[in-house]
A and B are shown apart, each in its own frame.
Chain A
Amino acid sequence: DAGVTQSPTHLIKTRGQQVTLRCSPKSGHDTVSWYQQALGQGPQFIFQYYEEEERQRGNFPDRFSGHQFPNYSSELNVNALLLGDSALYLCASSPPRNTEAFFGQGTRLTVV
């Protein structure tokens, strides 16, 4: 089992650009959540996808959007990047009817 995999591992973007991050959940998991972790802080919930729909959303602006595909993989899109969007973006997957969340290694986004 490959676990939760995220790509890319590192990314540098210019302010105002758009970025897409990708996540493949653990085998057998159907729920994907995205978190943003700023330096020195705990992860903050962005949103969660289940059955290809956004099921819950944290306190993030509409510039943050996502998608879940029929194979349960997911994308996080961020438009009009700001310097403050620089962070580690973590994807977590959960099995059916279970709250355990297993995290990927994250994507380190730097906005310059």
Chain B
Amino acid sequence: GEDVEQSLFLSVREGDSSVINCTYTDSSSTYLYWYKQEPGAGLQLLTYIFSNMDMKQDQRLTVLLNKKDKHLSLRIADTQTGDSAIYFCAEITESARQLTFGSGTQLTVLP
């Protein structure tokens, strides 16, 4: 079955890099996504990567995909206080059109 796991908490200092990790079990995943959720808000799509890629960079965000280990990471460079939020990893597979989400990682940026 499908399962996506993330660590629950991460704290970093302002200006440092943050790395949020995610593992998934479904080898037929086609796209993997990162979403950001601020308190009381919906989900903001940050970036996504197709399963035949191993890296994608978009301004301060870098996504790394290790398909062999089914491991996905999101690196945020020069982390700011405005990056404090919950970050969700999600996958979608060829057979299912729904997103399967992890439980989210609470990122806290300390001044």
Residues of A participating in the B interface, judged by any CB pair closer than 8 Å: 4, 6, 33, 35, 40-45, 48, 55-56, 58, 90, 92, 99-106
Contact A33 B98 (CB under 8 A): yes
Contact A42 B48 (CB under 8 A): no
Does residue B81 face the partner (Cβ distance < 8 Å to A)?
no
Nearest CB of chain A from residue B98's CB, rounded to whole Å? 4
Query: What DSSP secondary structure best describes chain B's contact surface?
Result: strand
Residues of B participating in the A interface, judged by any CB pair closer than 8 Å: 4, 30-31, 33, 35, 41-45, 48, 88, 90, 92, 96-104
Known pairs A4-B42, A99-B97, A103-B44; list 19 more (Cβ under 8 Å): A41-B104, A42-B101, A42-B104, A43-B43, A43-B88, A43-B99, A55-B97, A56-B96, A58-B98, A92-B99, A99-B31, A99-B92, A100-B48, A101-B45, A101-B99, A102-B45, A103-B43, A103-B45, A105-B41
What would 29 A/B residue contacts be, using CB atoms closer than 8 Å? Answer: A4-B42, A6-B42, A33-B97, A33-B98, A35-B99, A40-B103, A41-B103, A42-B4, A42-B88, A42-B101, A42-B102, A42-B103, A43-B43, A43-B88, A44-B101, A45-B98, A56-B97, A56-B98, A90-B43, A92-B43, A92-B99, A99-B30, A99-B92, A101-B33, A102-B45, A103-B42, A103-B43, A103-B45, A105-B41
Q: What 7 A-B pairs are tightest by C-beta distance, nearest first?
A: A42-B101, A45-B98, A103-B43, A105-B42, A103-B42, A106-B42, A42-B103
Complex CA–CA separation, A33 to B104 (angstroms): 20
Complex CA–CA separation, A40 to B37 (angstroms): 12
Nearest CB of chain A from residue B94's CB, rounded to whole Å? 10
Contact A100 B42 (CB under 8 A): no
Chain B residues with CB below 8 A from A48, complex form: 97-98
Contact B42 A104 (CB under 8 A): yes
Chain B residues with CB below 8 A from A4, complex form: 42
Chain A residues with CB below 8 A from B33, complex form: 101
**Chain B residue nearest to A48 in the complex (CB):** B97
